Structure 1
Amino acid sequence: MTESINALLIFCEGPHDIAYVRMVMQKLLYFEKEEVLFKELPSPFHKLLKQTVNTHAAKELHLDMAHKFFLPDTILRNGNHLMLLFNCGGKGQYDKVRTLISDYIPAMKVAPRLAEGTKEVVDSIRYLFVYDADAEGIEGIIKSVNNNFSSINNASFINTEWKKSSHSDFGRVAGDKAVYVWGENPARGTLEDILIPLFTKDQKTLMGDAKAAVVKMFPRDTGNADPAIAVPAMAKQSKSILTLVGQGKKPGFSMSVIIEQAELLEDTTLKTDSTTKEFTNFVAEFIGLSV
């Protein structure tokens, strides 16, 4: 007899988002990395991911390896809950996301028939789109999601109204689809607005020195009255600060590595941070995970 699995596909803008999501899911919701062969995954993923390699990788065997998007960057698991994290390579990669989802929708319909040789079947799948609020804000992001994902393969994909979450103003839910934005508030900002306070709490002196150096060497128009200019300027400045602050522990490494591996954040800082808890509580409620 097969066991039922609930799956969540999380579409992130880039590696920094993947690093933060992966870290907080492991530390706050106790997910663990699932490191298994394709054939050991629940149906239909055990065949779908192998087919994905054959279909997409065969078409794009060149150095930038764009086809890697069609495989999850990370798979996480907590009991009968499975998370697949995808690195979209930017906010505007709607075509790639639609193509990937178009592979999953028909596969889910035949999952029980593909289950021979597996112990588990995915019988529930949900989709979470995670973006920087930037200068658009959550309402602008929702409009873009509706414009780009209302239908897939000429079939309705988003067919219910978006509702506010009881856990966070940064998230919206429409049935089995959800959107969550990063920012200083739901109207503007980026992931760095969440990360800077976290690192400052645990590394106040180091962060102060890094900020002073970055501001002096690479001045940006962070105070511009136009959010379309100020928000990306602040994000770039913050990325530079976070990358610099990790060079002592991880010299030469990128910001995504520093977020997870430089050991500059205490677990208690993450677990008591209200913004991080808002996000994890939002996810937990969305997928029906008891916390």
Structure 2
Amino acid sequence: MTNIIISFCEGHHDIAFLSRVLQINEFKPYKNKIKDFPTPLNTLFQQKLASKNISDSKLGFQTNSIIPAVALYKNNTVALFHNLNGDKREMERKEILDMYQNLIGDSEIDEFTSTPKIQFRFIFFFDADDIGVDLRVIELNSELNLSEKINHNRISKIDDHEWGCYIFHKEEDSGDLEDILLDLMVKDNESIFSNCKDYLQTNELSDNRRRAYICTSEKEDYKSHNNYKNKKSLISVAGQLQFSGSNNSVIISNSDYIKKSDLEVNIHCLNINGLFS
């Protein structure tokens, strides 16, 4: 029996953090080529990649949530992480779920096909933001429409499959992944992060200058959306002291601001490790 854990993540930062958490729990990067993934995942991913019509795509940074961004393994368990690039991605989540659930149906006739049986577990990760943990779970249950409700920080057997979710939050029931990261990173680095916070406050820009700037021969203007998030900027500024020019996912993956000893006792990390047990 091969156990496959499918994680639905809002972005690369989530995946970088989850990878750090799991690797202190003996998970290792799964570096096999796609053709060498467990059957029938190898065939599935090869088919999905082959069916992607490159000619219909546009130039630029392409994202493909249907293919896992990262894979980890431990013993007979493989954990796959899908980057959804945001929380409002109901259609993408449904497409990924349908893909694996159709595969589950195929894998149950292994006595005829010699295909190993697979046990799937689906875990959904979201930020609580200002919505809160409970409402996030209510929204997810409404979206999934399973025969039973899934719960935050719990794995449940529902309709022959395993389901769970984890909502990143502060003690006050709101917040996001960055709150958890900063709790881990600031410890023993208080002076560095205090100075970075002072820098951000001293150089605070107007609302307009926190928006994407359009500069063409036709016009010079700012877009409507404000892109500034203070906690993300704080992590980024501190991270530049170690990894010049790197984005936050690289900093989260590699920085010694996050220590093994802290991951081992942080309640969020302990809970997340439990979901992958």
TM-score normalised over the length of structure 1: 0.79
The equivalent position to 1:61 in structure 2, one of 57, 60, 72, is: 57
Aligned to 1:41: 37
Q: Secondary structure of the equivalent of 1:272?
A: coil
Deviations 1:192-238 (A, max 9, x none): 110111111132211111111112323799xxxxxxxxxxx9x9111
The 3 A distance-change label for structure 1 pair 217 and 161 is same
Aligned to 1:198: 184
The one-letter code matched in structure 1 to 2:232 is K
The 3 A distance-change label for structure 1 pair 248 and 117 is farther
The 3 A distance-change label for structure 1 pair 61 and 204 is same
Q: Tell whether 2:158 aligns with 1:162.
A: no
CA contact (8 A) 1:43 1:111 kept: no
- Structure-1 separation of matches of 2:95 and 2:13: 23
Q: Tell whether 2:64 aligns with 1:82.
A: no
The one-letter code matched in structure 1 to 2:171 is N
Question: Root-mean-square deviation (CA), in Å?
Answer: 2.7
What number of residue pairs does the alignment pair up? 254
Q: Which runs of 5+ in 1 are unaligned?
A: 151-157, 164-169, 222-232
Aligned to 1:171: 153
Moved over 6 A (4+): 114-118
- Structure-2 separation of matches of 1:123 and 1:206: 47
Shift of 1:116: 10
Residues 39-188 of structure 1: matches in 2 within 5 Å?
39-58=35-54, 60-64=56-60, 66-111=62-107, 121-150=116-145, 158-163=146-151, 171-175=153-157, 176-185=162-171, 187-188=173-174
TM-score normalised over the length of structure 2: 0.83
The 3 A distance-change label for structure 1 pair 220 and 45 is farther
- Structure-1 separation of matches of 2:35 and 2:111: 11
Shift of 1:99: 1.0
- Structure-2 separation of matches of 1:243 and 1:115: 52
The 3 A distance-change label for structure 1 pair 117 and 110 is closer
The one-letter code matched in structure 2 to 1:147 is S
- Structure-1 separation of matches of 2:257 and 2:235: 10
Q: Secondary structure of the equivalent of 1:263?
A: coil
Q: Which runs of 5+ in 2 are unaligned?
A: 208-225
Deviations 1:149-195 (A, max 9, x none): 22xxxxxxx221334xxxxxx52444211111001137210001101
- Structure-2 separation of matches of 1:59 and 1:270: 44
Q: Secondary structure of the equivalent of 2:23?
A: helix
- Structure-2 separation of matches of 1:275 and 1:96: 26
- Structure-2 separation of matches of 1:6 and 1:207: 40
Residues 271-290 of structure 1: matches in 2 within 5 Å?
271-281=264-274, 283-284=275-276, 289=277
Aligned to 1:12: 9
CA contact (8 A) 1:8 1:125 kept: yes
Shift of 1:59: 7.4
Deviations 1:225-266 (A, max 9, x none): xxxxxxxx9x91111110000101101111111111133322
- Structure-2 separation of matches of 1:21 and 1:40: 24
Q: Secondary structure of the equivalent of 1:265?
A: coil
Higher helix share: 1
- Structure-2 separation of matches of 1:204 and 1:81: 38
The one-letter code matched in structure 2 to 1:190 is D
Q: Which has the larger radius of gyration?
A: 2
Shift of 1:62: 2.5
The one-letter code matched in structure 1 to 2:253 is E
- Structure-1 separation of matches of 2:127 and 2:245: 26
